[in-house]
Amino acid sequence: MLSQDLRSTPARLTATAAAKLPRPFLLCVGLVYILAGLFYRDPWKTDDVTGLATMLTALSGQDHAWLLPQVGHLAQAQDGPLATWVGALSIWALRPLFELFFSPLDAAIIASRVPNLLWFALLTGSIWYGTYLLGRRPESQPLALPFGGEPNPRDYGRMLADAALLLIVATIGIVWRMHETSEVPAVIACQALAFYAVARMLDHPVSGAATLGVAVGLSFLARGWLGCLPLILAVPLIFLPGRALAAERRWLAVSALIAITLILLWWIPARAFGPYWTESWLLWTRNAFDWPGARAWGSILRDLPWFLWPTWPLALLALWRWRGWFRAPHIGIPLGFAVGALLILLASADPFEPEYSTLAVPCAVLAAFALPTLRRGVINTLDWFAVMCFSLTAATVWLGWVALQAGWPAQIAANITRQTRGFDPHVAWPATVFAVLGTLAWIALVRWRLRSHPAGLWRGTALSAGGLITTWLLLATLWMPALDYARSYRDVSASLASALAQHRQPGECIRTQGLGSGQRASFLVFNGIEFSFDDDCPLLLQQVSPRSLQSGQAWLADHPALWEGRREPDRHEMFRLLRLKP
C-alpha cells in the first residue's frame, strides 16, 4: 500500500486535455518514421554493413556462421547472434521475391532491412501498452477537480501512452540507429519489451514474468552482457520492499529460468563448435567494461544530451515533480530501467550510441509523465520551440539541397562540394515529390496548431515528432543520393574486384593491412571479396592515408601498386593492392 496521499499528486489535467489523438495521425507518424531512409540505399560503413555481412555469411553456410556471426572468415566475436539470425532468415525467405524486381545484391539489402519493421513495431507497441498500463493506475491519476471534469483513468492512460510513443519517435539519437542492419534496433526493442513486461506484472504477474524472461534472454542474444545487464540491474530496484511489485518477486524465478534457458540454448553449442569464437567474445566482453577515461567522459557530456533530446529535460522534470512518488509504479519502474542503463553506461570502457540507446525508452516514459505536471504557459513555450526549431532545420535542409543543385548560395555550395567531391548532382523527381509533400504536411501541422489552439496535451509531442520526422524525411529523400555516394563502398569495391580479375592468379589469396571490420564487410557484401589471415598470401590490400603515402611514412609507400582506389569524398582513406613475395 502506497503511503502517498492521492490528493497530493502534482498532475493537473482536465478531460479536454486528455482528448483522443487521431489514430490515423499516429499510424502515419509511425509509417513515415520507419519507412523513410530504410530502403533504396546502400549499407554504410561500420555497423550497418557489418550486420549485413554477417547475415550473408550465415547464408553461405561456412564455419558454423549461423551459430557464430562472421564476416567471411573473420570472426565477428562481439555483440550476439540475434540480429544475424533474424536478418539472414528474412533474406532467405524474401530475397527470391525481391529478385523479381531488383538485382540479387539489392534484393538481399532490401530483405535484410525488413526485420527493422519488426523491431520498430515491438518498440512502439511495448512502450505504448506499458505506459498505458501505468497511466491508468490510481497512483498516477491527476488531481480531482472541485466540480469534476478530470479525465477518466482510461482516457488519461491513453493520452500518456500516445505521448510516450511520440516522444520515443522524437528522440533524435535513435532515428538513424533504428534504420540500420545492426544489433541496436533489437536492443532498443528488447528494452521496451522488458518495460512492458514489468508493467504487466502489476496485474498479470505470470505472463509478465515470462515476457520479462524473454526480453532479458533476447537482449543477451542481441548484444551480450552489455545488452541484458541494464535490465538485470533494474530488476532489484523495481522490486524493492515497499514497492508495488514487491509481492510479485517470487515470479522472477520464472523470468530467470526463461532467460537462462534462451542464453544456454545458444551458448552451449557455441562453446562446443567455436571455442576460438567464444574466447574472443569473452575477451571483447571483459574489455568492454571499465571506468570511462577523460576522453570518454567528454564524449558522454557532449553527445548524450543531443542523443536523448528532447526527452531528457522532461524526464528530469518528471523526477522533480514526482519526487515524493518514487515508490509508485509509474515513476519507479521507468526510473529503475534508467538507473540500470546509466550504471552500465558509466561502467563501459568506450560508451557510445549503442550504450546511449538503452536510456531512450525509460526517458521517453518519464517524459510523458512530466506533461500533466506542466503549466499551460510552459507547454505553449515548448510548442513554439518545436515549431521554430524544426521549421529552421527543414529550411536548412532545403537550402543545402538548393545549394547542391544550383550552386547558390555560393559559400554553402562550396562547403557541400568539398564534402561530396566527385558527386554528380541530379534531381530525383519521385524523392523530391515526397519531400515536398512532407514539407506541406509539416506546414499543415503548424497551421493547425496556430489556428485551432488544440487542448490535447499531446499537441507538443505531436509537433516534436512531426518536426523530427519531416527533417528525417527530407534527408532521406533530397539528400540520400549524396549521402549514399559519400558513405557507400560500392564503387571502390567494384573497382577492386575489376583489378583482382586482371591481376589475381588462380588460387591466390589476399591478406590485408590496416583495414577495419567495416571495410572488410563492405568488400564482402558488394563483390564477395574475402580476405585471408595467411602471411604467405602474395596479394596485400593496404589501407593508408593519402598524406602518409605522399610523405613516404606509410608502410611500403615506395612499393609499386597494382591498383589504387578510394572514395572521392574521403580525404583520409585510400586503398592499395600490392603483390609481395611470400
Q: Which of 462, 487, 512 is a domain's end point?
A: 487
Q: Do 222 and 267 sit in the same domain of this protein? A: yes
421 within some domain: yes
Q: Do 400 and 538 sit in the same domain of this protein? A: no
Cell numbers linked to 464: 516534436
Q: What is the pLDDT of residue 558?
A: 83
Angle at 125 between CA 121 and CA 130, to 5 degrees: 150
Counting beta carbons within 10 angstroms of the beta carbon of residue 506, is it exposed (0 to 12), middle (13 to 18) or buried (19 or more)? exposed
Q: Do 213 and 346 sit in the same domain of this protein? A: yes
Q: Do 333 and 472 sit in the same domain of this protein? A: no
Cell numbers linked to 436: 515536398
Q: What is the pLDDT of residue 145?
A: 81
H-run or E-run covering 466: helix 459-477
Report CA Rg, the chain: 26
Q: Do 286 and 336 sit in the same domain of this protein? A: yes
DSSP label of 8: G
Q: Which of 465, 487, 509 is a domain's end point?
A: 487
Q: Do 470 and 507 sit in the same domain of this protein? A: no
Q: Which domain does 193 fall in, by range?
A: 40-373
Q: What is the pLDDT of residue 3?
A: 45
pTM of the model: 0.95
Write the Ramachandran bin of 552: left for phi over 0, alpha for psi from -120 to 50, otherwise beta: left
440 within some domain: yes
Q: What is the pLDDT of residue 134?
A: 97
Q: What is the pLDDT of residue 582?
A: 66
Q: What is the pLDDT of residue 559?
A: 87
Ordered per-residue pLDDT tens for the chain, 582 residues: 444 444 478 998 989 889 889 999 999 999 999 999 999 999 988 899 999 999 999 999 877 899 999 999 899 999 999 999 999 999 999 999 999 999 999 999 999 999 999 999 999 999 999 999 999 999 999 988 876 778 999 999 999 999 999 999 999 999 999 999 999 999 999 999 999 999 999 999 999 999 999 999 999 999 999 999 999 999 999 999 989 899 999 999 999 999 999 999 999 999 999 999 999 999 999 999 998 888 889 999 999 999 999 999 999 999 999 998 999 999 999 999 999 999 999 999 989 999 999 999 999 999 999 999 998 888 888 888 999 999 999 999 999 999 999 989 999 999 998 888 888 898 889 999 999 999 999 999 999 988 887 888 888 899 999 999 999 999 999 999 999 998 999 999 999 999 999 999 998 999 999 898 899 999 999 999 999 988 889 999 999 998 888 888 888 888 889 999 998 888 889 999 999 876
335 within some domain: yes
Q: Do 292 and 404 sit in the same domain of this protein? A: no
Residue pair 211/193 in contact by the 8 Å Cβ criterion: yes
Counting beta carbons within 10 angstroms of the beta carbon of residue 251, is it exposed (0 to 12), middle (13 to 18) or buried (19 or more)? buried
Q: What is the pLDDT of residue 222?
A: 97
Q: Which of 373, 394, 416 is a domain's end point?
A: 373
